[in-house]
Amino acid sequence: MNTRLLVVAAVMLVFAGSVWLVADAGAAVQPTTQAGCALGQSPMRLQYSEPLTATSGYTSYVPLVEHTIISCTPGTPIADVAFDVSPAYIDVLSLDSNLAGQTLLATFHIRDVPPQLVFNRVGIAEHYLEYSWEVLVDVDNNPQTGDQFGIYRGTEYFVAAMHFVFTPNASTALPIPNGVQVNVWQFDPSPGCSSCYRSVSGASLAVDSQADTLSLSGTIPGIQANSRLSFRAYDYNPGGAHLSDTSTCSAALTSSSGVAAQAEASGFKLGDDGSIQRVSP
Ligand SMILES: [Ca+2]
Ligand SMILES: [Ca+2]
């Protein structure tokens, strides 16, 4: 096979799998703008000097829009905008993650991690969630399995640093690691249990107020390379509306504003049996 045939064969392969459409001159293509690209331009940056068609007529290469695919799987950083929530300590800038077997390591980069936070602030009742930093795992990457509530839609497990109030109205400043519990929680689909989770194991936490990072590590049963990760950082914000920062990787049904609002307006409450259940305090 001579060189020219090889080039033609290569070009045909490029066409078979490429995003370029070719329009022949005889079709009288008019320059038209579509998605920022003009028909009739030659945006090609192919390295072939050979013509791409055998005809001598006008040839147009039309770039198709390539959709940006947001990857939310372990190992891919999840970016988030700054100042989308007021308190700096729950304003996530990005979430890095790494998977080793079934151990997920996830690091929140946060606008500011203070050396201490005030826990048990006035106005939060016993057993209600005051703060949390949660990494949600949709193990099977299927929003229709697992929790179906708001941003938790699809979640089978989450690993989190959380603080539930046990001594109401007893404000105490503590370093974050001294004020939180760190667990892996599993969604409990029991009938009558609204967005319930049960702790299945402990997890580890490392906080660096210089680097403004908060790292969680825990074992997530069944987690795999294509599991979907998302996050929530939450503050009860006594005296005001509950505040949270959530990620674009959420599978919440955003077409229903009621669902999103419900998720923002609720937190967890710790039950007598050690499970947590979503509540709207
Ligand atoms: Ca943010
Ligand atoms: Ca799921």
Q: How far is the CA of 93 from the centre of ligand 1 (A)?
A: 5
| pLDDT reported for residue 254 | 61
Confidence of residue 41 (pLDDT cuts 50, 70, 90): very low
Amino acid, single-letter form, for residue 176: I
Q: How far is the CA of 35 from the centre of ligand 2 (A)?
A: 34
Q: How far is the CA of 245 from the centre of ligand 1 (A)?
A: 6
* Average pLDDT estimate for 123-135: 97
pTM of this structure: 0.74
Give every CB contact of residue 101 below 8 A, 6+ residues apart in sequence.
none
Distance from C-alpha of 112 to C-alpha of 64, rounded to nearest angstrom? 41
Q: Which of the ligands is closest to the CA of residue 138?
A: 2
Q: How far apart are the first and last CA of the chain?
A: 76
Nearest to 142 by CA among 153, 131, 127, 128: 153
Q: Which of the ligands is closest to the CA of residue 227?
A: 2
Is the pLDDT at 32 greater than 60? The verdict is no
Give every CB contact of residue 43 below 8 A, 6+ residues apart in sequence.
37, 61, 63
* Average pLDDT estimate for 102-123: 98
Q: How far is the CA of 48 from the centre of ligand 1 (A)?
A: 45
| pLDDT reported for residue 157 | 98
Confidence of residue 215 (pLDDT cuts 50, 70, 90): very high
Q: How far is the CA of 154 from the centre of ligand 2 (A)?
A: 4
More confident residue, 156 or 18: 156
Q: What is the mean pLDDT of the chain?
A: 80
Q: How far is the CA of 166 from the centre of ligand 1 (A)?
A: 29
Count of CB atoms situated within 10 Å of the CB of 8: 16
Q: How far is the CA of 137 from the centre of ligand 1 (A)?
A: 19
| pLDDT reported for residue 71 | 85
Q: How far is the CA of 105 from the centre of ligand 1 (A)?
A: 20
15-29, 58-72, 126-140, 260-274, range with the lowest pLDDT = 15-29
Is the pLDDT at 14 greater than 50? The verdict is no
Please give the share of the chain, as a percent, with pLDDT higher than 90: 64
Q: How far is the CA of 138 from the centre of ligand 2 (A)?
A: 4
Confidence of residue 266 (pLDDT cuts 50, 70, 90): confident
Q: Which of the ligands is closest to the CA of residue 90?
A: 1
Calculate the alpha carbon distances from 41 to 12, 66, 186, 202 in Å.
21, 18, 54, 59
Q: Which of the ligands is closest to the CA of residue 142?
A: 2
